[in-house]
A and B are shown apart, each in its own frame.
Chain A
Amino acid sequence: MTSSEKKILSLSVMVSLAICVPQTAHGMHIMEGYLPPAFCVFWGALCLPFLVAGVIALRKLTQNQRRSLLLLAMTGAFVFVISSLKIPSVTGSCSHMTGTGLGALLFGVPVTSVLGIIVLVFQTLLLAHGGLTTLGANTFSMAVAGPLVTVGLYQIGKKLRFPKLLNVFLAAALGDLLTYCVTSLQLAIAYPSAEGGIGASFLEFLTVFAPTQLPLALIEGILTMVVMVGLQSYAKPELSLLNTQRRGLFL
């Protein structure tokens, strides 16, 4: 095989993978019972500091300003609702947003991680998506690692004086992308491949889930951007309420 033939072959493999993906693409959650118990405990323990910090922050927030409890509840319900609604997608499959990037930009990481774990429990019990034993792993990837990267990138972009909307897009899209990488890593650590170890198996999981997750990250970025534009024009007073509490970043 010549090199150009090889290229064409691998291109065709990628195209066929991209088109032949299963019909549903949620933000990637590990399903119930898929991780061995030791890993469930490990990832859960890793989330614990963030959750404790989040609960402390929540308590303070609701004691100082009770109104914000309802604001948070509404945001939680909103994140759940958008994660259960279909969004337009390129391949005709039905995909769903994660929405935690949005939460992180509005409320900061600790509060988002508590909101995130609540939304994950709701998704598990009401949408049969995710799991109770894998709750720790999913919380780490979706409600801790993703928001951390989103907020970090947003801060860096702000320092570098990126245009605001481009910055939101990049932060949300890359945060979502990282969520998917972390999930693949979690699967790879739990089930390393026989010859190449964790590295090879990480690569395998990345490739298998890439066709559904890459477009999803882009869409997440675009939608977060448009939602922010909408919020700026419709919900000025509420955003300024968040601003006085110095929680939100996007203000």
Chain B
Amino acid sequence: MITALLTGAVLWSLLVQTLPPILLGAVTAAGAAVAFFFRRHHSHGPVAIDSLARRSLLCEENAFWKTGVSVLLLILSTASPTPLPPLLLFGFLSAVTVLAGKIPLKKYFSLLWLPAAFLLLSTLTLLWDFYRVLPENEVLSLPFFGGWLSVTKASQSLGRLVLARALGAVSCLYFLSLSTPLPELFWVLRRVHVPEVVLDLCMLIYRYLFILLATAHDMRDSAASRLGYATLLKSFRTTGLVYGRLLANSFRRAGHCFDAMESRCYTGKIAFLTQRKPLTGKVICLLSIPLAGMTFGMFLT
């Protein structure tokens, strides 16, 4: 409900006096309705995105190309001087992720909703400023403790630009993370010479994360079945104890794992098998279009 109100407020202050009143009302109401519809925060957990990435049809494509182009598009999107190119990029890459990758649309939308709280709050802060005297070019003002809280034409256009850039960048990020499983990304990082120690650490963390997550869930369930979360004070104590136990457990597990690795001739180097994935015409075409578009967009004013 609050997110819906916030969305409405942000849309209203972004677009007021640039659209005719009826259209403005319609856009605001539509935004608030969408926010209300997706108001429930689905707890995704790290497993959700990982499994979506592995199931995506784009998973079979060359990881180096996907990562390289995504990073380039990210940079172009955050550097774009006008709001239109990143918005188009957002539409295009979302379509690629959903249609070519066959990610369920509903899942994609609920993922998009994750950064909403940050985006709405900080855009609101960008839009509304405190002024002692009513500024020129103001489009919306409220009296506030002997001064004015106002939205100006300049802050409106800044807000629109920042919002568009963020949306474009988020679509690049989701394209990458919903089509490329993490181990393949580490392989790309290895090819660009990120220190070996760091990548070994990443790989080990990735493998242990799911085990620890499962253990944590089991611990929490058993604590809950013993009324460990009955009151606020108790739940602090239980959470702390569960975390402490989890960390102690994982230290112990690390010890066992090291023994197992050493008995299999571990000499300080961990090698993982990576499947070679050739570069196909399909993904070259799909990604060249936004790349060309965004490069052209850099010269627009």
User: Hey, which bits of chain A sit against chain B, CB under 8 A?
Assistant: 20-24, 28-37, 40, 55, 58-59, 62-63, 66-67, 69-78, 80-82, 84-88, 90, 94, 114-115, 118-119, 121-122, 124-129, 131-133, 187, 191, 193-196, 200-201, 204-205, 208-209, 219, 222-223, 225-231, 234-235, 238
Contacts and interface: CB of A to CB of B under 8 A. Distances in A.
B98 to A, nearest CB: 15
Given A88-B229, A122-B46, A235-B247, A195 B132 contact: yes
Given A78-B246, A118-B205, A235-B248, A126 B3 contact: no
Interface in B1-36: 2-3, 6
Contact of A31 (B3, B49, B170, B247): B170
A208 B122 contact: yes
Contact of A125 (B177, B205, B262): B177
A238 B252 contact: yes
B300 interface: no
B240 interface: yes
Contacts of B170: 31-33, 131
A174 to B, nearest CB: 18
Contact of A40 (B78, B115, B155, B229): B78
Contact of B130 (A196, A205, A208): A196
A126 B114 contact: no
B71 interface: yes
Contact of B78 (A133, A230, A238): A133
A33 B243 contact: no
Is chain A's interface secondary structure helix, strand, loop, or mixed overall? Answer: helix
A74 B254 contact: yes
Given A73-B254, A208-B121, A34 B152 contact: no
B130 A195 contact: yes
B135 A194 contact: yes
Interface string B88-128: 00000000000000000000000100111111111011100
B176 A125 contact: yes
Interface of B: 2-3, 6, 41, 43-46, 49-50, 71, 74-75, 77-79, 86, 111, 114-122, 124-126, 129-132, 135, 152, 154-155, 158, 162, 165-170, 172-174, 176-177, 182, 185, 195, 197-198, 200-202, 204-206, 208-209, 211-213, 216, 220, 229, 232, 235-237, 239-241, 243-255, 257-258, 261-262, 266, 268
A227 B247 contact: yes
Given A33-B170, A73-B254, A132-B173, A59 B197 contact: yes
Nearest to A28: B118
Nearest to B270: A69
A226 B205 contact: no
A77 B205 contact: yes
Q: Which of A23, A74, A194: most chain B CB closer than 10 A?
A: A74
A70 B204 contact: yes
Contact of B182 (A126, A128, A193, A227): A126
Contact of B239 (A32, A59, A88, A201): A88
Contacts of B117: 22-24
Contact of B198 (A34, A84, A114, A119): A114
Nearest to B121: A208
Contacts of A229: 240, 244
A126 B49 contact: yes
Contacts of A81: 209, 212-213, 216, 246
Given A37-B75, A73-B254, A81-B213, A131 B3 contact: no
A59 B177 CA distance: 29
A36 B173 contact: no
Given A77-B212, A195-B135, A223 B239 contact: yes
Given A31-B166, A125-B185, A235-B247, A187 B209 contact: no
Contacts of A84: 45-46, 213
A100 to B, nearest CB: 14
A195 B268 contact: no
Given A22-B2, A77-B205, A37 B266 contact: no
B152 A124 contact: no
Nearest to B181: A125
Contacts of A235: 247-248, 251-252
A230 B201 contact: no
Contacts of A59: 195, 197
A201 B111 CA distance: 29
B39 to A, nearest CB: 8
